[in-house]
Amino acid sequence: MCWLKKFGRELVLIGLGGVALSGLFACREPNAIQKETRFIMGTVCTIQIPGPPAVARRAMAGRRAVREAVEKAFARLEECDQKFSVFIPSSPVCRFNQQGIPIDDPEIVALIAQACEVSRLSQGAFDITVYPLVELWGFYSGKPRRPAPEEIAAARGKIGWQHLVITNGQVTKKNAAVQIDLGAIAKGYAVDAAMQVLLQNGIHDALIEAGGDIFALGQRNQKPWKIGIRHPRQPGLLDTLEVSDRAIATSGDYEQFFIADGARYHHIFDPRTGYPATNLMSVTVIGANATLADAWSTALFVLGLEKGMKLVEEGAVRAEVLMLTSQGRALSSPGLKTIPGP
């Protein structure tokens, strides 16, 4: 669970029908009048507007209007990066971490409140105060390592979403050592924010992706978007989804990891143990917004199959879910609809 959480996913989610959602974008979309890729928030971000039929149907003014809308959406993604990054010294999150300066930006305060609610519902499986663990294991520096048990125990003493206090429009901390990382929810939020910008500018059909977090807005040429989910260990797809006005987010043990003494250590930590979560290879969440799909994909990955599916069945997670166990068994929630792969 870190700011770079989604970076390196590369083809975990593949938009079928001509668009590949990856860092390469090698496939062509002949009917796309606008498709642009930029590197924001430490990952690859793409906005695609489908071809003329969809645009004409929505009475768009043409390519110039589309271009302006896309530019505004990318500007919104950049704005989110400036606010939520743990690396940009001027960001409120960075100043909160390094100097203890309270966060009073309403947008950030609201997002932290959402994160804390997911923490509460998941009984601490999701925790934005996991920063010390990500740093200790070397995923921020790009030099991952397996820490000693006593180091992990010391880092755990700095973790706990309950140490965050939200009052009078501010976020403060009870424990001065607490540091936050919104990477497991902020990319999803940024996707939602960019989607709202497109809607406000008259675009009702688009595909927005930030490092694997996707929002499929409207349709692609009068048909639902087709999104493929890559199998984390085998060539090809684990499943294919047909979606419209839905968000999709995947968390997996293959995004960032290293091997030590024959064991795989990845970047999605169980805040309660200090070690990478086990038992699942990947979790895909399909929901109404990318913010919660992003957060719950991490929370459910940490919780594991039984506890995770129980939350879904009880209605705490208002989304559909596809889980792949470490043994390679795929299980989905009852409401998940799939279509045959290509």
pLDDT of residue 249: 96
pLDDT of residue 93: 98
Task: Give per-residue burial for 128-138: e unless 16+ CB within 10 Å, then b.
Answer: bbbbbbbbbbb
Q: Is the pTM of this model over 0.85?
A: yes
CB pairs under 8 A, 24+ apart, for 313-320?
Answer: 316/121, 317/121, 317/285, 318/287, 318/288, 318/292, 319/285, 319/286, 319/287, 319/288, 319/292, 319/293, 320/285, 320/286, 320/287
DSSP state, residue 45: E
pLDDT of residue 261: 77
The distance from CA 156 to its chain's CA centroid, rounded to whole angstroms, is 24
3-class SS at 248?
strand
Radius of gyration of the chain (CA): 19
pLDDT of residue 221: 84
Stretches where the chain sits below pLDDT 70 are 1-33, 52-61, 257, 337-342
pLDDT of residue 239: 87
Catalogue all structural domains in the chain, each as residue range(s) with its CATH number. 92-181 (1.10.3980.10)
pLDDT of residue 32: 53
Between β-strands 330-332 and 319-325, what pairing exists: parallel, antiparallel or unpaired?
antiparallel
pLDDT of residue 11: 30
pLDDT of residue 24: 23
One-letter amino acid at 291 equals T
Q: Is the dihedral of CA 94, 10, 254, 334 positive or negative?
A: positive
What does each C-alpha distance from 238 to 26, 146, 155, 222, 328 come to in angstroms? Answer: 21, 30, 36, 25, 10
pLDDT of residue 61: 52
99-133: per-residue pLDDT in tens?
Answer: 999 999 999 999 999 999 999 999 999 999 999 99
CB-CB neighbours of 102 under 10 Å: 16
Q: How far apart are CA 255 and CA 310, in angstroms?
A: 26
**Whole-number percent of the chain with pLDDT over 90:** 68
The distance from CA 270 to its chain's CA centroid, rounded to whole angstroms, is 17
